[in-house]
């Protein structure tokens, strides 16, 4: 249960409780006010009856007149038993050119709202239909206004928490990357010195040549880590050539039963990218594919050129990703491996989306058959 009880869910529960309590309380108040208004209308009917009684004394007449005069808020219409309007009160007719039509519309509205109060004033049976005061109408709509306000407040709080969480993630990424680059600096310098000694003893050593390639790669990795947290400069590069170098490098360091193929039609694909960071993304996708295939399979990298964008699909024949995990794989810390921090894909998305203003996502994945990642680079 702990994984579901995060800040957002707690805020949602609190908001739901406030809304429910408010709805209940406001509904109770509205019902009480409606009962009070019904009593007032009943008193009005009794007051009119009192005024129509020839036997009413002066005190009764004064009280009845006061009750009639005091009603300046409840709209009502008095009719005969044949629905002929005798009188109406507290209905604004100044905005209508046809008063009779307005009164008939209000009469229909009042009939739907409340049952009529039957009054017998000695001249036949009459009916008093009434509506709701402006205060009662406001009270009935108040909960919905409150729901909107609470919803907006909740959205602002969630946005603020998300922004704060993202900012904290950014600080962790930047700090970790800078420290990694710093820590790599000393052993790389030492390895460079030892490699020079090897060349002095055996200038044509094949091992020294391969070690130099790996050392250059390590320097490139350190350079990538040092660039995280700072805005990289995008430069026009030949994407086809860059991908070819990555494939050649990763193929030599892959299991013998794994083939990495690059499929593209053009040999010149000029795209504005940050070379070191883009290489990092591609190598990370290939390494993930190698881990998923467990020593046997194929990785196909297909490049499709469009006028406004270049699409790169990285497809493997690995174990695939379950559907319930597809949305989580780019989250920091999420990993299905026994080792690793789960930052590779998260950093890859950051590099593609924030630095290259492009997109990366899982195009397709099926358990037992493989996964296809897609990168869409804008021109």
Q: pLDDT for 132-184, tens place per residue?
A: 888 777 877 877 787 788 788 878 877 877 777 777 766 776 777 777 776 77
Q: Closest by alpha carbon to 46, among 116, 130, 131, 119?
A: 119
Rounded Cα gap, residues 93 and 321, in angstroms = 69
Is the model's pTM score more than 0.75? no
Q: Mean pLDDT, the chain, as a whole number?
A: 81
Rounded Cα gap, residues 188 and 174, in angstroms = 21
pLDDT surpasses 80 at 345 = yes
pLDDT surpasses 70 at 293 = yes
Tell me the average pLDDT across 104-132. 80
pLDDT surpasses 80 at 216 = yes
- Predicted confidence (pLDDT) per residue in 68-91, tens digit: 667 778 888 888 878 788 778 888
């Amino acid at each position: 249960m702990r994984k579901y009880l995060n800040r957002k869910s707690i805020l949602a529960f609190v908001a739901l409780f406030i809304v429910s309590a408010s709805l209940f309380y406001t509904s109770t108040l509205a019902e009480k006010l409606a009962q009070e208004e019904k009593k007032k209308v009943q008193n009005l009917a009794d007051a009119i009856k009192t005024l129509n009684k020839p036997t009413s004394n002066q005190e009764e007449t004064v009280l009845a007149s006061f009750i009639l005069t005091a009603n300046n808020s409840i709209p009502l219409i008095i009719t005969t038993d044949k629905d002929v309007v005798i009188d109406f009160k507290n209905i604004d007719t100044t905005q209508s050119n046809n008063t009779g039509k307005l009164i008939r519309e209000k009469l229909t509205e009042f009939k739907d709202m409340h049952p009529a109060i039957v009054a017998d004033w000695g001249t036949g049976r009459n009916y008093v239909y009434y509506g709701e005061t402006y205060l009662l109408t406001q009270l009935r709509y108040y909960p919905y206004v409150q729901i909107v306000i609470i919803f907006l407040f909740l959205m602002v709080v969630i946005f603020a928490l998300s922004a704060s969480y993202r900012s904290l993630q950014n600080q962790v990424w930047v700090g970790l990357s800078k420290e990694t680059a710093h820590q790599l600096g000393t052993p790389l310098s030492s390895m460079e010195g030892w490699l020079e000694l090897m060349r002095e003893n055996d200038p044509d050593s094949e091992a020294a040549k391969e070690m130099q390639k790996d050392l250059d790669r390590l320097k490139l990795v350190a350079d990538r880590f040092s660039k995280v947290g700072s805005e990289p400069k995008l430069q026009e590069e030949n994407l086809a050539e860059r991908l070819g170098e990555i494939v050649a490098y990763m193929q030599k360091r892959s299991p013998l039963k794994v083939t990495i193929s690059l499929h593209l039609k053009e040999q010149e694909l000029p795209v504005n990218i940050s070379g070191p960071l883009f290489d990092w993304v591609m190598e990370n996708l290939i390494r993930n594919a190698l881990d998923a295939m467990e020593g046997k399979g194929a990785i196909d990298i297909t490049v499709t050129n469009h006028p406004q964008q270049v699409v790169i699909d990285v497809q493997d024949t690995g174990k695939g990703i379950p559907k319930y995990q597809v949305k989580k794989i780019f989250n920091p810390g999420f990993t299905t491996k026994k080792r690793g921090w789960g930052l590779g894909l998260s950093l890859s998305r950051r590099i593609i989306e924030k630095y290259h203003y492009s997109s990366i996502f899982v195009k397709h994945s099926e358990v037992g058959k493989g996964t296809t990642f897609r990168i869409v680079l804008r021109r």
